[in-house]
A and B are shown apart, each in its own frame.
Chain A
Amino acid sequence: QLQLQESGPGLVKPSETLSLNCTVSGASISSSNYNWAWIRQSPGKGLEWIGTVYSIGNTYYNPSLNSRVIISIDTSKKQFSLNLSSVTAADTAVYFCARRTESFDYWGQGILVTVSS
């Protein structure tokens, strides 16, 4: 059974970089049939796609976040990662990692990240 698990700090200071990892188990992260995504959910903005990474490393980002986002993949560790720079309080949200075929068919449980000094 495929499982995804987010990990990382739950509190980040304003202007710093938010860094999260997603560990995939129960399926191959290297398969070309899937790609891997970060999505966040905040009360003010609902569900927001952040970006997607393919197993070969190609990335696609939400244009509204493009200048601040880097998503990478490490197939040897069965992990993909999110870095979001220059965070503000508006980046406070629950961050989900997910597998994408076309829709998002498997999700992690989510991790709350609060941006506060």
Chain B
Amino acid sequence: EILMTQSPATLSVSPGERATLSCRASQSVSSNLAWYQQKPGQAPRLLIYGASTRATGIPARFSGSGSGTEFTLTISSLQSEDFAIYYCHQYNNWQTFGQGTKVEIK
């Protein structure tokens, strides 16, 4: 099983600032990586797939990068609605998720 490790566990950011979230795979997943946003009581929402392609309707302030084992999700200027938990997901070999990064208001 491919283990996905996200860091940090919690990120405290002020509105308008940049947030950078990391995801590391225990072995290469090529570009077969997605990012999701989840708010309390809701299902995860797809943000990014293919490591860097924004899903339909996702604002341009969300961007993804990386390949192989190291990936980054960047939120360029945090809006109030962006405070949530973010998960990475590899689909190169079966499916596994990271444990999540909580983005909270500083």
Secondary structure dominating the interface of B: loop
Chain B contributes a number of interface residues (CB within 8 A of A) equal to 22
Chain A contributes a number of interface residues (CB within 8 A of B) equal to 21
Complex Cα spacing A102 to B33, Å: 9
Q: Is A110 touching B43 in the complex (CB atoms < 8 A)? A: yes
Q: Is B49 touching A48 in the complex (CB atoms < 8 A)? A: no
Complex Cα spacing A11 to B99, Å: 26
Distance (whole angstroms) from the CB of A111 to the closest CB of chain B:
11
Q: Is B32 touching A104 in the complex (CB atoms < 8 A)? A: no
Q: Any chain A CB within 8 A of the CB of B12?
A: no
Identify the closest chain A residue to B97 (Cβ). A47
Binding site for B on A (CB under 8 A): 37, 46-49, 52, 60, 62-64, 96, 98, 101-105, 107-110
Binding site for A on B (CB under 8 A): 1, 32, 34, 36, 42-46, 49-50, 55, 87, 89, 91, 94-100
